[in-house]
Amino acid sequence: MPERPRAILILGGTREASNLAEQLCRREGLRVVSSLAGRTMKPLTGAGEWRIGGFGGVEGLATFLRDEGIDTVIDATHPFAETMSLHAVEAASRIGISLLTLLRPAWERRTDDRWVEVGGLNEAALAVPEGGRAFLALGSQHIGAFAERADAHFIVRMVDRPRQAPPLASCELVIGRPGDTVADEIELFRSRSVTCIVSRNSGGGSYEKIQAARELGIPVIMIARPVPQPGATFATVDALLSAID
Ligand code: NAP
């Protein structure tokens, strides 16, 4: 019987994950399956096989890994996708297969940045100045943390128009992905009279909003990352690729 190709599962939802899938698909004898949570209406899919939607916790992921004959999991999720990363560690260890993590470096504060560094969403909500016009660069599921701040106005950017209005007393929506250039972000912040930005320290792309805030002298309420899972971790796609023979 011919040997089954080696199978890799990429837990995705980031540009790096799509890039990784594309590069791994060029290798012979490798089956590459990518997985997305299904949060956006037009997901950024690409090379190889794709599946969309949750697995059903650690148990569901472990079953998927076993049924699909996956021998390596690559966690290329967003640095704030804490639950998925934890599930990946637990499921891979349960099945006894290897797990590699792609974790882009966090953004570093520069001396000309005006960052207010906070530990989480609730702290970020408290840090928004009274009467401020805060730009929220956060997923829709995180907006509720700002609901108590009826004394501030929020400009909320979301990839897709939400089915329900955000639970904020005073807000406006900007539908779309982040601007491609710093100039785009400056133009947006100026046109909406933004006085502060709330951002997670995602690292990687989408840095234009942070640069734009720097140029405009606007403070950024920067939410620190969760503690990463232990294990083999790589900062770049190339570094991770070189670890796969
Ligand atoms: P999360 O809180 O860590 O995960 C919640 C649940 O969503 C997981 O338990 C899992 O459901 C499902 N899930 C998450 N990522 C998945 C994936 N790649 N494939 C299949 N199921 C997945 O994650 P999140 O913060 O909601 O992020 C969801 C996705 O959006 C991630 O893939 C992430 O890379 C991407 N993303 C997140 C952010 C962010 O700010 N957090 C930003 C950009 C992109 P089950 O337990 O049912 O398996």
One domain, residues 60 and 141: no
pLDDT score of 137: 87
Q: Do 195 and 125 fall within a single domain?
A: yes
Query: For residue 76, what pLDDT is reported?
Result: 97
Q: Ligand 1: does its nearest atom lie under 6 Å from the Cβ of 83?
A: yes
Q: Are 218 and 238 in the same domain?
A: no
The predicted structure's pLDDT at residue 5: 62
Place of tokens 């969403």: 121
- Mark whether 121 and 146 lie in a shared domain: yes
> What pLDDT was estimated at residue 177?
87
Co-location of 147 and 234 in the same domain: no
Ligand 1 atom with minimal separation from the 83 CA:
3
- Print the domain residue range for 186: 115-223
80 in contact with ligand 1, CB cutoff 6 A? yes
DSSP string, 74-115: EE---TT-HHHHHHHHHHHHHHT-EEEEE-PPPPPPPTT--E
Examine the domain organization and report whether 101 and 124 are in the same domain.
no
Radius of gyration, alpha carbons of the chain = 20
The number of domains in the chain is: 2
Q: Is the CB of 38 under 6 A from ligand 1?
A: no
Q: Could you list the pLDDT tens digit for every one of the 245 residues in the chain?
A: 555 569 999 999 998 999 999 999 999 999 999 999 988 777 777 899 999 999 999 999 999 999 999 999 999 999 999 999 999 999 999 999 999 999 999 999 999 999 999 999 999 999 999 999 999 988 888 999 999 999 999 999 998 888 889 999 999 999 998 889 999 999 999 999 999 999 999 998 789 999 999 999 999 999 999 999 889 999 999 999 999 87
| Ligand 1 atom closest to the CA of 11, numbered from 1 | 18
CA distances from 126 to 3, 135, 193 (A): 57, 14, 20
The finding on whether 78 has its CB within 6 A of some atom of ligand 1 is yes
- Report the pLDDT value the prediction gives residue 95, as an integer from 0 to 100: 96
For residue 93, the model assigns a pLDDT of 97
Distance 233 CA to ligand 1 centre (A): 18
Q: Do residues 78 and 168 both lie within one domain?
A: no
pTM: 0.89
**pLDDT score, position 4:** 58
Ligand 1: residue whose CA is nearest its atom 24? 81
Residue of 35, 84, 198 best suited for mutating to test ligand 1, as the one with most atoms within 8 Å of CB: 84
Task: Looking at the structure, tell me whether residues 119 and 218 fall in a common domain.
Answer: yes
Residue 110 maps to a domain: no
